[in-house]
Amino acid sequence: MDWDDSPQQAKFRAEVRAVIEKHLPERYRSGDGPEERAWEFDRKSDDPAAREAAIEWQQALTSRKWVAPEWPAEFGGAGLTPDEQFILNQEFAASGAPGVGGSGVRLLGPTLIVHGSQAQKEKYLPAILNGETAWAQGYSEPGAGSDLASLQTAAKRDGDDFVVNGQKIWTSGAHTADAIFALVRTDPNAPKHRGISFLLIDNIKTPGLSVRPLIDMGEHHYFNETFFEDVRVPAGNLVGEENRGWYVAMTLLDFERSNISAAVGARRTINALIEDLREAGVTPSDAARGAIADRYVETEVMFNFSFRIISMQNRGIIPNYEASTSKLFASELNQRLALTATRAFGLAASRWDDGSAAGKYTNSYIRMVPATIRGGTSEVQRNVIATRGLGLPRG
C-alpha cells in the first residue's frame, strides 16, 4: 500500500491547506483539535465573536461547495471523490477546522437525495447548505437505544397532519438546532422493524415540542431530552413511504466512514501529552511510559484502519464491518488515551477543572465516557464485526 499522495492528491491537499490558512478564523486555530459541533454551537452563541467566526467559516466553505463535499454537484455539493473527501477531512482535523452543516449535511441531506420528494429537496437542501437550518437527529429513546427498532414515539394521522407524542433522548445539539428529523411509530400493531416512519419537523419550536438539557458529569451541555406533546406535523413532511421509515433511516449515506478525524485527533492528543509532560517537568512511572508507548502505536494503527476504508471506497466497495472496526477502535482508544494521560500526571490530574495541563486530560476522560455508547455501542459494533466480518452465528 502506498501511503503517499499522488501528484493530483498532493495538489488538492495544497489547495485545502491554502484555504484553511487564508480563511479559518483564529477562534478555531487551537492545538486541541476541533470541538464537536463547534460550528453549530457557535452560530447560536451569545458571543458575537463566536457567531461571526461561524458565519465567516461557513461562507468560505460555501464558495467552494465544501459544506457538503460528498453530495453530488447537482444538489449543491462538491461531488468530491472518496480520496478527496479523505484529504479534506484529514486537513480539517489537523488544523482544528470544524465541519459546517452538522447532521443536516451528514445524515439528512443524503437521505433526502435518495428518498425525498422533489419539493422536499428544493425546500430543505439549500437551507442546509447555506447555514440557514441546522438539524438535530431524533432517534434514541429511553427504552430504545441500541435496539432502536423498539422506539415508541407515536405519530397518528389526523387529516393532513401527523400528531406526534413521545420522547427522544441524547438528542445531540437540539438546543441550538432549528429543526429535527425523527423516527416515529405509525403502526403500533406491525412488527417492530415495520410500522416506523421518517418525519421532518422543520421548526424545533413547533407547539408541543420541548427541548430540555442533559448536563453531563463534566458540566458540559451537549445532549438533550426532547418531548413531543400533540405536535402536529404536515403529512407532506413524511420522507419515503409511511411505515417504511426504518428502511429510509438505514440508507443514511455516510460517505466519510474512514474516521480519519478520530485518527488525526488521537495523534494530536498523544503528541500534546508528551509535550505537556515535558513542559510540566513530570517524569512518568515506568508503567505510565509503557502505556504512552502503547497508545502511540495504537494511534498509528487507527490511521491504517482509516487508510483501509478509504482504499475500499476508492475501489467502489462500501465498508461494512470495516467501519464498525474503525469506530470501535477509535472510541475505545480515545478513552485509553485520556486515562493514560491522567495516570501519567498522577495526583496532579485530580485538579480536573483548574485549567492545568493535567486537568485538561482528566476533563477529557470524563467527556470520553459516552464515546463507547453513542453512534452505536461497543457491544453493537462487536456484534457487527462478529457476524458480518467473521461469519459467526447470531446467538
- If residue 199 lies in a helix (H) or strand (E), which one and from where to where? strand 196-201
**Entry pTM:** 0.89
Between the CA of residue 375 and those of 173, 300, 381, what are the distances in Å?
14, 23, 10
Beta strands in 104-170 (DSSP E): 135-138, 154-158, 161-169
> Within this chain, do residues 271 and 365 fall inside the same structural domain, yes or no?
yes
Assess whether 21 carries a catalytic annotation: no
Annotated catalytic residue, options 256, 298, 332, 379:
256
> Within this chain, do residues 266 and 377 fall inside the same structural domain, yes or no?
yes
> Within this chain, do residues 195 and 88 fall inside the same structural domain, yes or no?
no
> Within this chain, do residues 381 and 266 fall inside the same structural domain, yes or no?
yes
d(CA 266, CA 229): 42
Specify whether the CB–CB gap between 170 and 133 falls below 8 A. no
Residue 235 confidence (pLDDT): 97
Residue 253 confidence (pLDDT): 47
> Within this chain, do residues 279 and 365 fall inside the same structural domain, yes or no?
yes
Residue 318 confidence (pLDDT): 82
- On whether residue 267 sits in a domain, the answer given is yes
> Within this chain, do residues 148 and 239 fall inside the same structural domain, yes or no?
yes
Q: Say how many C-beta atoms besides its own lie within 10 A of residue 44's C-beta.
A: 15
> What is the distance, to the nearest Å, from the Cα of residue 181 to the centroid of all Cα atoms in its chain?
15
- On whether residue 117 sits in a domain, the answer given is no
Helices and strands: H and E segment counts in the chain: 13, 8
Residue 350 confidence (pLDDT): 85
**pLDDT, tens digit, 9 for 90 and up, residues 60-94:** 999 999 999 999 999 999 999 988 999 999 999 88
Residue 210 has phi, psi (to 5 degrees) of -130, 145
Specify whether the CB–CB gap between 43 and 176 falls below 8 A. yes
Tell me which of 249, 278, 309 is where a domain ends. Answer: 249
Residue 337 has phi, psi (to 5 degrees) of -60, -50
Tell me which of 192, 224, 249 is where a domain ends. Answer: 249
Domain range holding 31? 7-100
Query: Per the structure, how many domains does the chain have?
Result: 3
> Within this chain, do residues 95 and 216 fall inside the same structural domain, yes or no?
no
Mean pLDDT, the chain, whole residue set: 91
The helix-helix angle for 357-367 and 321-345 (nearest 10°) equals 140
d(CA 257, CA 310): 8
- On whether residue 315 sits in a domain, the answer given is yes
Specify whether the CB–CB gap between 171 and 233 falls below 8 A. no
Residue 320 confidence (pLDDT): 85
> Within this chain, do residues 181 and 239 fall inside the same structural domain, yes or no?
yes
- The ranges of the chain with pLDDT < 70 are 1-2, 30-34, 252-257, 395
Residue 33 confidence (pLDDT): 53
Between the CA of residue 97 and those of 38, 232, 306, 368, what are the distances in Å?
9, 38, 19, 20
Tell me which of 100, 118, 145 is where a domain ends. Answer: 100
Residue 287 has phi, psi (to 5 degrees) of -65, -40
The CATH number assigned to the domain holding 52 equals: 1.10.540
Specify whether the CB–CB gap between 64 and 123 falls below 8 A. no
- On whether residue 111 sits in a domain, the answer given is no
d(CA 114, CA 104): 14
- On whether residue 366 sits in a domain, the answer given is yes
